[in-house]
Chains A and B, each alone.
Chain A
């Protein structure tokens, strides 16, 4: 009897290629697409049909499955996605943090509810198009998560919350391939999605404006307030914390006008003509704190709720490299356990744009040591 694998098919080139490769390797594949969004039908409200991007993604996935001769089903997980990922996304922004919905989705949806559904369909594992590798550590017996061979596409960062049990039930066939090899394989299999462009945005925010999104869903949490410098001088007005992200420079509404306006004032350490960046978001005071680029630099951070992968737990200081954003380079760091269960991260060189709410992931070479949430 062949092993039945559920392939999480998004309709994109990566997961489509995964399905094709596994079919060729002789697995019995079942294609599954998660329908996470939108939460409601527009037709019902307006009586007129409106194009919906997520439906065409599902149709791409269906088409690929049909070409490969494998069954395909769409799982409606809107409710759970809404409650677990979207609601959290909105709350985090409202609290002045910068959430990573993909990390949360992988942890609470894809490798949880979705995996459970796949297993109910008789699948032993789920395969996804993530660029990351799973290897067994012969010494410790643990499953290791490693970076994908393609450094530009490596997605181990968004998988760092995976538990050993989740890794047991996962397969990342693209981990040892480059993106170009993936496209090549897709072309060779005659998949029409081979040339499809990568999606880079958040699936439920196709047009990318998280501020508007939060404002619409949680209007009370999005209140205009002061933009202040590091000394507490008010420089202007902000539209509401969710419109801002730590490290952001443009769109502060200060610009040249502010600089000329304040030319005659003594503004302490933020002299005119110095570009200003968002240094932090103070939810308690509803303030956006801005300052010069140097003020963005931090030599360390505290992270909460660590998940350890290559090690069972962190008992003593460990030399690692730390990644503080999805697309940031690693920084050498020392991690130490805190008595409250968190992790102290000391960076060898100060890093910019450390945003509370984002994931910090620790590596040793290619191996993911673990991940945690920046406090």
Chain B
């Protein structure tokens, strides 16, 4: 079993060069020697500061998935006991996810992830609004995740008038700008709860109120708000809320759209009658069960979880203050406790990230990855940063599983790498 894992993890043993030919010694930031146990070459990740990209699967979620990854099977639509068992597991997960955001279970539509949920809420919602009341205008904030922006732009190709709501230099969507643009024929307004690149908390409740005043629906991508704040769909007043499992310790490939009772977005996928005819396709039972367990775990520990995230945030801030000319991006008074974005003067973020990775530290420069390399983040550009500044930004994000060792590694390595990078740039310039 162990051997099989080694082979599949690295494929090193399958190749022609034999391990004995190669003197593998890997130095990892000065002292520690840790290598990939399969190939003895890659330093293993010492520190993972990219929880906004994806989070480690928690043991609770993993346990909930395991029954569905073994030899027993069951299609939740089947009428025999195998099917019923799968159906029951999905029903339980639906309750768990609903509880996390204070919704009722019937308002939860499971999807393949938040991208599909965003597509369903925005495209399906706008299509429904056009059918129901002839609406043809869509408003989205300029700092949305590509899943939201692309969904909205797609509507633009279908004859909808799509407007992007600008943000100020603090990265906060202006409610006044939303109000100024709302019309009688506005189908939908979309704004995320917490920005995934800057961690800035958005005024979604106010935007929902404004949207409802003209009869428009409000779609909220809450992927980064779940698990870092108390998210209450009743209080927020959102009509559609997109959620992701793998950002809160659940598995990839599972997500959900909260659909307010009484609303019915036009389905994107048609076929069987699954998810109350809102999303066809045999359910991903394992993924949904893992999502439910992760949601339950977050819900149960939310208060302590947020406290832990805030303590880690303080530590990260302390490290960043040791770096000269590193500035936090976004409104200081509206920070989520698990994401921080910094502009580090004189640094090329792509190079810095690779240098960090060579030392075993994972970070990010935002979500704007396009085929292997990075482009300046559209979110930072929308906030008014110029391209060179946007290209010197780095995003750190963490979770409740972030350890003392990881924080130590970051504090130990990052300032030195920034210094080396700056020295070389001065030489070349």
B22 and A23 contact, CB distance less than 8 A = yes
For the complex, what is the distance from the CA of A68 to the CA of B42, rounded to whole Å? 10
Considering the complex, give the chain B residue whose CB is closest to the CB of A41: B370
Interface string of A42-69 (1 = CB under 8 A from B): 0000010000100100100010001111
Judge whether A76 is part of the interface by a CB distance below 8 angstroms: yes
Nearest CB in chain A: distance from B287 CB, A: 25
Question: Complex Cα distance A205/B331, Å?
Answer: 45
A71→B358 contact, CB < 8 A: yes
Which of B15, B22, B350, B358 touches A75 (beta carbons < 8 Å)? B350
Question: Taking A76-B373, A120-B420, A122-B420 as contacts, is the C-beta distance between A23 and B17 under 8 angstroms?
Answer: yes
Nearest-CB distance from B158 to chain A (Å)? 11
The interface residues of chain A lying within 8 Å CB-to-CB of B16 are 188-190
Known A35-B373, A67-B15, A68-B17; judge A112-B428 contact (CB<8 A): yes
A92 interface hit (Cβ, 8 Å): no
Task: Give which listed residue, A69, A116, A121, contacts B41 with CB less than 8 A.
Answer: A69
State A52–B370 Cα separation when bound (angstroms).
13
A20 to B374, CA, bound (A): 27
Known contacts A1-B27, A24-B21, A66-B11; is-contact A71 B420 (Cβ 8 Å): no
Interface pair A76/B17, CB less than 8 Å apart = no
Q: Which residues of B contact A122 (CB under 8 A)?
A: 355, 358, 420
State the total of A-B contacts with C-beta under 8 angstroms.
Answer: 88
- In contact, A52 and B10 (Cβ under 8 angstroms): no
Are B425 and A30 touching (Cβ within 8 A)? Answer: no
- B371 proximity list for chain A (CB < 8 A): 35, 41, 52, 55, 58
A228 in the interface (beta carbon within 8 A): no
Query: In the complex the two chains form, is A69's CB within 8 Å of B39's CB?
Result: yes
**Please, which residues of chain B bring their CB within 8 A of the CB of A62?**
372
Instruction: Name the one of A1, A35, A120, A188 contacting B351, with C-beta atoms under 8 angstroms.
Output: A120
Indicate which residue in B27, B351, B370 contacts A117 across the interface (CB closer than 8 Å): B351
Cβ of A68: which chain B residues have Cβ within 8 Å of it? Answer: 15, 17
A159 CB to closest chain B CB (Å) equals: 19
* B275 interfacial by beta-carbon distance below 8 Å: no
Please indicate the chain B residues that have their CB under 8 angstroms from the CB of A188 in the complex.
Answer: 16
Would you call B12 an interface residue if the criterion is a C-beta within 8 Å of the partner chain's C-beta atoms? yes
Say yes or no: is B154 at the interface (Cβ < 8 Å to chain A): yes
> Shortest CB–CB separation between residue B284 and chain A, in angstroms?
24
Given contacts A69-B41, A69-B42, A116-B428, contact A75 B351 (CB under 8 A): yes
Closest partner residue, chain A, to B425 (CB atom): A116
Shortest Cβ distance from B24 into chain A, in angstroms?
8
B70 at the interface (CB under 8 A from A): no
- CB pair B420–A69 under 8 Å, yes or no, is no
Residue of A nearest to B372 (CB): A74
Looking at the assembled complex, report how far the CB atom of A28 sits from the nearest CB atom of chain B, in whole angstroms. Answer: 7
Interface size class of B (residues with CB under 8 A): 35 or more
Complexed CA–CA distance, A24 and B373 (Å): 28
A35 touches B23 (CB 8 A): no
The residues in B between 3 and 20 inclusive whose CB is less than 8 angstroms from any CB of A are 10-12, 15-17
> Within the assembled complex, what's the spacing in Å between the Cα atoms of A62 and B373?
13
**Interface residues of A, CB < 8 Å — how many?**
37
A120 engages B355 (CB within 8 Å): yes
The answer to whether the Cβ of A70 comes within 8 Å of any Cβ in the partner chain is yes
| Majority SS at the chain A contact face | mixed
Contacts of A69 in B (CB 8 A): 10, 12, 24, 36, 39-42
Give the complex CA separation of A188 and B15 in angstroms: 10
- At the interface, yes or no: A119 with Cβ under 8 Å from chain B? yes
CA distance A159 to B420 in the complex (A): 28
Minimum CB–CB distance from B18 to chain A (whole Å) comes to 10
Q: Is A265 an interface residue (CB 8 A)?
A: no
Chain B residues near A119: list those with CB within 8 A: 424
One of B350, B357, B375 near A71 (C-beta < 8 A): B357
Which B residues are in CB contact (< 8 Å) with A26?
A: 22-23
The residue from B10, B27, B36, B372 contacting A55, defined by CB atoms under 8 A apart:
B372
Within 8 A of B (CB), among A232-272: none
For the complex, is A2 an interface residue (Cβ under 8 Å from B)? yes
> Bound state CA distance, A291 and B39, in angstroms?
64
Interface flag for B354 (CB, 8 Å) = yes
- In the complex, A121→B351 CA distance in Å? 7
A23 nearest in chain B by CB position? B22
Contacts A70-B41, A120-B420 known; A20 to B26 CB distance under 8 Å?
no
C-alpha gap A30/B359 in the complex (Å)? 12
Complexed CA–CA distance, A122 and B39 (Å): 22
Chain B residues numbered 30-68 whose CB sits less than 8 Å from any CB in chain A: 36, 39-42
Interface residue B197 (Cβ < 8 Å from any Cβ of A): no
Chain A residues contacting B116 (CB-CB under 8 Å) are none
A59 to chain B, nearest CB (A): 8
Closest chain-A Cβ to B8's Cβ sits at a distance in Å of 13
Closest to A52 in B: B371
B157 at the interface (CB under 8 A from A): yes
The closest CB in chain A to the CB of B17 belongs to A189
Instruction: Report the nearest A residue to B423, measured CB to CB.
Output: A120
A117 to B421 alpha-carbon distance, docked (Å): 8
- Residues in A lying within 8 Å of B, measured CB to CB: 1-2, 20, 23-24, 26, 28, 30, 33, 35, 41, 47, 52, 55, 58, 62, 66-71, 73-76, 112-113, 116-117, 119-122, 188-190
Top 9 A-B residue pairs of the complex, sorted by shortest distance between their CB atoms:
A76-B373, A190-B16, A69-B41, A74-B372, A69-B39, A73-B354, A120-B421, A116-B428, A74-B373
Interface residues of B (CB under 8 A from A): 10-12, 15-17, 21-27, 36, 39-42, 154, 157, 348, 350-352, 354-355, 357-358, 370-375, 420-421, 424-425, 427-428
- Given A23-B22, A69-B42, 12 further pairs, Cβ under 8 A: A2-B25, A24-B17, A24-B21, A35-B371, A52-B371, A74-B373, A75-B351, A117-B351, A120-B348, A120-B352, A120-B420, A120-B421
Q: List 14 A-B contacts (CB under 8 A).
A: A26-B22, A35-B372, A41-B370, A47-B157, A55-B372, A58-B371, A67-B11, A69-B40, A71-B357, A76-B350, A120-B421, A122-B358, A188-B16, A189-B15
